[in-house]
Structure 1
Amino acid sequence: MTQTAPTPDRALNTRLIKGLTFMMFMMFAMTTDSVGVIIPEVIREFDLGMTAGGAFHYASMSGIALAGLMLGFLADRLGRKPAIILGLALFAGAAFLFAVGRSFEFFLVLLFVSGAAIGVFKTAALALIGDISTSTKSHTATMNTVEGFFGVGAIIGPAIVAALLAGGASWKWLYVIAGVLSVGLILTALMVRYPTAVKTAAPPTDLKSTVRMMRDPYALAFSLGTMLYVGVETAIYVWMPTLLLGYDGPAVWVAVYALSIFFVLRAAGRFLGAWMMSRFRWTTVLVVASLAILICFAGSIAGGRSAAVWLLPLSGLFMSVIYPTLNSKGISCFAKAEHGAVAGVILFFTCVSAVLAPLAMGAVSDIFGAPIYGFVLATVLAAILFGALAVNAVLDPAKARLARFDDSQYGV
């Protein structure tokens, strides 16, 4: 199998598709990663407890997880373009309804629906990355760039909410803004020419084939890897503000902006990761990054808040490359015709961890009486992640399979 040089029109179209994908990830990150800023307002507005207020996070994550598992195959069965447009249209509809919502329960339903919509268009977008990649290595580099734009959205979203609240407007307008962006993305998607679908003799993927894929050792291994990583990351954006609450040491300004610093470093690191993954062995990069994360967390436990105020935000730089790389390699271990389904499986495990890990850390903190104990659990997860990635770097069990798909799917 050989590759022909891309024509100017094809190269331009590929850039447009990448731009559309980047903007989709940035747009939905504006909403999902603004929940930490919105929840205190929701608690005050509806007179809720913290557990009930946290449902704003769990509702959207549950929608994404279920859609990833049960609807991820739509990207393979319907095609990337129809699945993306369907997901964006559903997301836009739910987002606009926030403007007329008045009850907490109504907002939870909208968050679940918008999460399901994200699950549909995100799995299609992830599958599309495989269609426009020239090798499994370029797939990983592109995935890091895509997640870099997600990181940018995670910075922009909370800033928009803060500006809305400062101006006396409701947090609900963030979703209306996201809805407007979704309409623009739908119009763009309608105009862009997508790559021709990969023809295969295998039957089209469906829910049953997705469930069977969960038993595949490669899909399961990469999914469990992303679960471990997300468990570590949620400790930062869910519980770090609580850990640093009341800190009055010499780095008080760092404590105030700790979460913003983490998000900025995570976004910057993902753009850097796109460069690194095209030049260095991915297994080595991941084991070095996971060791640095473990050092940051262990140092925060040993040195207390005076160390945590510096080390925990810094961990964002090292976390940046792990999730997009594991996601990319997991997807690349399958034929392009199955990329939507496997992306959905990995997304399911990701969102399950995003719900269960912060719950477990909160429970441990409650039992022992201080948030630092939740970070002890997170440090244990970081140690397991490092151990798993170290074994992966030595054995490289996916090497042969990735090489096979480089040849059969990309012609490398």
Structure 2
Amino acid sequence: MSNIVASQKNLTLIRWLTYLMFMMFAMTSDSVGEIIKEVKLEFDVSNTQASLLHSLFMVGIAFSGLFLGFLADRFGRKPTLILGLALFAVSCYLFLLGGGFNFILGLITLSGLAVGIFKTAALALIGDISSSTKEHTGTMNGAEAFFGVGAIIGPLLVAYLIRNGVDWIWLYVIAGGLCTFLIVVALLVKYPKTVHPIDTKPSNLSSSLKLLKDPYAMAFSIGAFLYVAAESAIYVWMPSYLLCDAGSVNDMFACYTNDANKVLALYSVSVFFSLRAIGRFVGIWMMQRFEWSRVLVWFSFAILLCFIGGLVGGKTVAVYLFPLTGIFMSVIYPTFNSKGISCFAKAQHGTVAGVILFFTAAGAAAGPLIMGIVTDANGGDAKYGFIVATVFSGLLFLGLVYNTIKKPVEDRLAQIEQAEYSSKLSTESN
């Protein structure tokens, strides 16, 4: 009995360790908007150059997701987690050396590579600590909920540091300190064993590339791309769309008839992130009680309506509807990740997580870029960029309608449930 209790405590510790990793990663990744403002002033760079802080970070994640995702399957979750966390901590501490703009871009790229390594291992680990595909989805929503918390904490921390005359690089130093703490905890924790079938070849780069031909991996990867492209439209371009007159500081919110609307326009991104975080905590409860495909189709439909309503009704309607998408977006990406990974044996979870992560990062990089190009081609009006985002959300909705009607992954999930999951989880000795 004491061994069972100890094992459960160990699994709980692993779950919290995973949650804190997601939160720490979000503290830096979703603070990029605040950091870009400071970097432009500090280094006198253009908008295009400053945007590389976001793009190169995502490129780093995409590269390591596709080309290094197999590490967690080949060498184990624990070594891969510690490798990724160590690289991330080093990249954070190197900000203390100062340096020029190119040096910072190099550190940003390195941190993206590190995130791709430890995130694929963490995603694979979620499968190891889950006793069913349904529990897997709940835990994934929990991890993304803490990511949502980090997305709120990070920008607030940057703003606090700047208001108090402290350089923004200390956000990374703080994140590095938290990362170091997570490494220490990870070294002390016993991890569940990942069972590799006798006839299974060790995972390698070709394992990742083969998944690009797998219909299950590609279906969820394309879904993740479309979702993230639509989501990033909100936190990247919503502030520009909600401005009344971008050319005048005094008239930026003059088109709003009351003070409440002006305040909501000013803090729209924070409201969006807050609603997304709340929705993901609710999602833990929802996904244990409702059929996942129906939840996703209705929530994606609500997102599409919010985009259409915000475009047709203009800024005074969009100031409410665009942030509201946070509630409906909350459960979509964690569920895509969970169900996509759950379509494969646990010994492949790191590799498939890497492939989905590649398309996730590609969507985060390509979506805002395409919107920016379309916006510039139409006189700088962000409305045209949001038409592109509406197309992304429409395609996402149609895909989820097909999934609800045809249920193409139902049999595959049932097979994996029977073959891979059980209520008994063993742990490896350190």
TM-score normalised to the size of structure 2? 0.94
Determine the C-alpha separation between the residues in 2 that align with 1:277 and 1:28.
24
Q: State, as a whole percentage, how many aligned pairs show the same letter.
A: 56
Q: Given the alignment, which residue of 188, 192, 196 partners 2:189?
A: 192
Partner AA of 1:247 in structure 2: F
The residue number in structure 1 matching 2:202 is 204
- After superposition, give the CA deviation of every residue in 1:162-206 in whole Å (9 maximum; x if it has no partner): 011001111101000000001000000011110012131201110
Q: Given the alignment, which residue of 377, 388, 392 partners 2:388?
A: 377
**Cα drift, residue 320 of structure 1:** 0.3
Determine the C-alpha separation between the residues in 1 that align with 2:32 and 2:384.
23
Q: Does residue 1:42 correspond to 2:42, yes or no?
A: no
CA contact (8 A) 1:247 1:305 kept: no
Q: Does residue 1:282 correspond to 2:292, yes or no?
A: yes
TM-score normalised to the size of structure 1? 0.98
The residue number in structure 2 matching 1:261 is 271
Give 4+ residue runs of structure 1 displaced > 3 Å after superposition. none
The residue number in structure 2 matching 1:226 is 224
- After superposition, give the CA deviation of every residue in 1:319-350 in whole Å (9 maximum; x if it has no partner): 00000000100000000000000000000001
Q: Does residue 1:344 correspond to 2:341, yes or no?
A: no
Q: Secondary structure at the match of 1:134?
A: coil
**Cα drift, residue 25 of structure 1:** 0.3
The residue number in structure 1 matching 2:304 is 294
Q: Given the alignment, which residue of 307, 313, 316 partners 1:306?
A: 316
The residue number in structure 1 matching 2:167 is 170
Partner AA of 2:150 in structure 1: G
Partner AA of 1:109 in structure 2: G
The residue number in structure 2 matching 1:326 is 336
Deviates more, 1:5-14 or 1:364-373: 5-14
How many residues of Structure 1 are paired with residues of Structure 2 in the alignment? 409
Determine the C-alpha separation between the residues in 2 that align with 1:298 and 1:388.
18
Structural mapping, 1:7-156, within 5 Å: 7-156=4-153
Q: Secondary structure at the match of 1:280?
A: coil
**Cα drift, residue 247 of structure 1:** 2.6
Deviates more, 1:132-141 or 1:196-205: 196-205
Partner AA of 1:208 in structure 2: S
Q: Which runs of 5+ in 2 are unaligned?
A: 244-251, 424-430
Q: Secondary structure at the match of 1:133?
A: coil
- After superposition, give the CA deviation of every residue in 1:215-272 in whole Å (9 maximum; x if it has no partner): 1000000000000000100100110011112233121111011000000000000010
Partner AA of 1:358 in structure 2: P
Determine the C-alpha separation between the residues in 2 that align with 1:271 and 1:115.
26
**Cα drift, residue 358 of structure 1:** 0.4
**Cα drift, residue 101 of structure 1:** 2.1
Q: Secondary structure at the match of 1:198?
A: coil
The residue number in structure 2 matching 1:404 is 415
Q: Given the alignment, which residue of 401, 405, 408 partners 1:394?
A: 405
**Cα drift, residue 5 of structure 1:** 12
Partner AA of 2:399 in structure 1: A
- After superposition, give the CA deviation of every residue in 1:278-328 in whole Å (9 maximum; x if it has no partner): 110000000010000001000001000000000000000000000000010
The residue number in structure 1 matching 2:242 is 244
Determine the C-alpha separation between the residues in 2 that align with 1:184 and 1:6.
26
**Cα drift, residue 411 of structure 1:** 3.7
Determine the C-alpha separation between the residues in 2 that align with 1:150 and 1:330.
19
Determine the C-alpha separation between the residues in 2 that align with 1:356 and 1:381.
12
CA contact (8 A) 1:30 1:155 kept: yes
Q: Secondary structure at the match of 2:318?
A: helix
Q: Which runs of 5+ in 1 are unaligned?
A: none
Determine the C-alpha separation between the residues in 2 that align with 1:139 and 1:345.
18
Alpha-carbon distance change, 407 to 5 in structure 1, aligned in 2, over 3 angstroms? farther
The residue number in structure 1 matching 2:249 is none
Determine the C-alpha separation between the residues in 2 that align with 1:198 and 1:122.
20
Determine the C-alpha separation between the residues in 1 that align with 2:4 and 2:309.
52
- After superposition, give the CA deviation of every residue in 1:25-75 in whole Å (9 maximum; x if it has no partner): 000100000001100110111111100000000111111100001111000
**Cα drift, residue 380 of structure 1:** 1.0
CA contact (8 A) 1:25 1:153 kept: yes
RMSD value, Cα? 1.2
Q: Secondary structure at the match of 1:7?
A: helix
Determine the C-alpha separation between the residues in 2 that align with 1:169 and 1:88.
25
Determine the C-alpha separation between the residues in 2 that align with 1:127 and 1:269.
23
**Cα drift, residue 6 of structure 1:** 8.5
Determine the C-alpha separation between the residues in 2 that align with 1:303 and 1:48.
36
